Structure 1
């Protein structure tokens, strides 16, 4: 990502940024469940890096569904009752996408990450997002696609609005979908790689 390109010191090594590309999930957002979805791998071990410590604040707004690897028992680690946080451990991707799309909004609370593919996938299926304004998420999430801030209270307010107002959630999700499919399409991603590989082959001749 451009964020990594800015922050990592690669010395004299040449670097090139090729932004992510995804296959759009085969499901569409419905948002019929007044719940918030999160995708985190190893939330207990990674803790503050993935924003795990922030989850109880959002669990006060609406029940959370946390998908990912090694998420079992997360409610106990956070001291939350089972009805405020449900863990869905290592669910196959197609099933996870189907379940994500039924939740009202998507939470992206990572303090430090390259750029989570699950964030782009959630946007691509039409989910409104509530995200920390950190790392490359600042570029990935346009203003109308949900809420992007370093202020937790701002994000809590946005989550509260989306849970209370399905129509607003759908409007924001439509903007998220358009932005993700325009910027992170697979055709552009593959074309960028083809161009880079061709340049490298020509340079080595």
Structure 2
């Protein structure tokens, strides 16, 4: 009778052990399945970045739970501190390479792709300088003959010549029948006794 009871007890222990192993296996399976099917994640802290005409550096924070890469079509004027990375969070430094003297705002879209199928776009722009500096080596001003005020200058005029708004003439400077104004022509007019000339604005 005792032998039978011991056998039953051994069978119960054996059965309980198998049941425990089975439960551990099932739990491990579903845990690994849940981990492998984690929701894809790819976030950036801003979707629009604007630089001043002078340029500079700005930050873009990125979080992903898988590998990622950035496509930079603005590489001719924009540098990135990192173009790819792995799971985790990172700060990418965006730096302009020059002042924008093109006369118009330049804009491109950075495209961030991750291996989990996610994608994000970031619009990056750099405003243009309103008044580009064309003359990088200006000559010092010549103040010859500029010591008089307006009233004094008017008193000195004995005979004046008004070229008129010839630059506004249809067809160009000679559209109203006026000659092309050259340095030699101005000297000729001076020889005729004129000491004041009104020059049209371009």
Greater Cα radius of gyration, structure 1 or 2 = 2
Interval of TM-score (by shorter of Structure 1 and Structure 2): under 0.3
Q: How does the TM-score come out when normalised to structure 2? A: 0.20
Which structure features the higher share of helix residues? 1
Which structure features the higher share of strand residues? 2
